[in-house]
Amino acid sequence: MSDPATRLAIDELTTRVYLVLLRDPSPRRSALLREGLTEAEITAALANLESRGMVNASRPDLIEVFPPDTTLPAWAADLERQARTTRSAVEGLTHMYNEARAGVRGSTASRDVAILDTVEDVEAAYYRLARRAETRCVRLFARSPRMDELVISHPESIAIAHSGVASPGLQRQVVFEQSILEVRGAFAALEAMRADGIDVRLTPHLAFSVLAVDRTSALIDITHIDSGGGSLQVQQRQLASALMDMCLGLFALATPLPRTPRSLSVARLTERDTQIMALLAAGASDLTMARQLDISQRTVERRVRAIMVELGATTRFQAGAIAGRRGLI
């Protein structure tokens, strides 16, 4: 789930765990348990900290904490880049919001901006706009149960909707929240989209879902908040162009979905190891990798250690960097 209250609770939990780790010269999971935290809370907080590059929690008990004077500024800079991109679209979005609400709910507020009342209205508008794309189609996916179901169970529908009409040169770009990797089957679904020619990327957080098409039309989808009432279809070119700029800015800041190589150049690594390296590069925790690959967390931990040994790496992050330099991901 990604509602504000849940996110606040996760952030507070992550901060609490991080402060405990900073004060401990030899931080361990067992010590966190003695602090009164549950296994689930520890796993969630460590996964969050790993995604920010602040800790390495790949070992069974011992936790490696990286110096905050390097990790915190890097994380803050990334948040600020995302904030600047979002702020750049505020004026246009505010104008669109006010213009839409100047009309009657459930009807077209103007010729260029329409309020959509239901999930069905949003999905119909999404397919209609996406299939109309000729040069570029960009979509941001905010997490919600409905979006998760769509991504995991019907990845082909996203590819089909983004196919355009007689547009072989169409650029198709999609950004998902990184936490989508916590859902079983997500990695395979995202790889299927990429195999269809969609440029798939991951980002820490998205406030809402957006579809931007050719700088001529756009869709703001807030169905993750409620039943869909208040979602907007935009045909006004200036506003649609502002939304495209926002989408492209977030896409540029997002991390490309790491590729699983077709062949291995390291003899003792298996095909499963290539999937683990790709997920490792995506910032996935051991628990997340276990869910995606349908194997035990202990197996993941053992294979991560084997990968580190094979690549001559001392940390999992170094292993990801070496794998990238060698073209393994």
- Per DSSP bridges, beta strands 136-141 and 171-177 are parallel
The yes-or-no answer to whether 83-253 and 271-325 have a common fold is: no
3-state SS, residue 140: strand
Alpha-carbon distance of 325 to 41, in angstroms, equals 35
Report the 10 Å Cβ neighbour count for 106. 12
Which CATH class for the 4-66 domain? Answer: mainly alpha
Q: Which positions ≥6 away from 98 have C-beta within 8 Å? A: none
Task: Report the run of H or E that residue 136 belongs to, with start and end.
Answer: strand 136-141
Alpha-carbon distance of 132 to 125, in angstroms, equals 11
Mean pLDDT of 101-116: 62
Domain range list for the chain = 4-66, 83-253, 271-325
User: What rounded mean pLDDT belongs to the chain?
Assistant: 80
What values do phi and psi take at 218, rounded to 5? -160, 165
Report the 10 Å Cβ neighbour count for 327. 9
3-state SS, residue 285: coil
What values do phi and psi take at 201, rounded to 5? -135, 165
Q: What is the pLDDT of residues 17-58, one digit of tens each?
A: 998 899 888 899 999 998 888 888 898 889 889 888 889 888
CATH number for region 83-253: 3.30.870.10
Alpha-carbon distance of 69 to 247, in angstroms, equals 31
Specify the range with the lowest mean pLDDT, choosing from 89-93, 141-145, 200-204: 89-93
Q: What is the pLDDT of residues 186-201, one digit of tens each?
A: 888 888 888 888 899 9
Complete DSSP assignment for 203-219: ES--SSEEEEETTTEEE
Alpha-carbon distance of 89 to 87, in angstroms, equals 5
Q: Which residue has the tokens 């000729």?
A: 134
Third-level CATH fold of 271-325? Arc Repressor Mutant, subunit A (1.10.10)
What values do phi and psi take at 219, rounded to 5? -140, 125
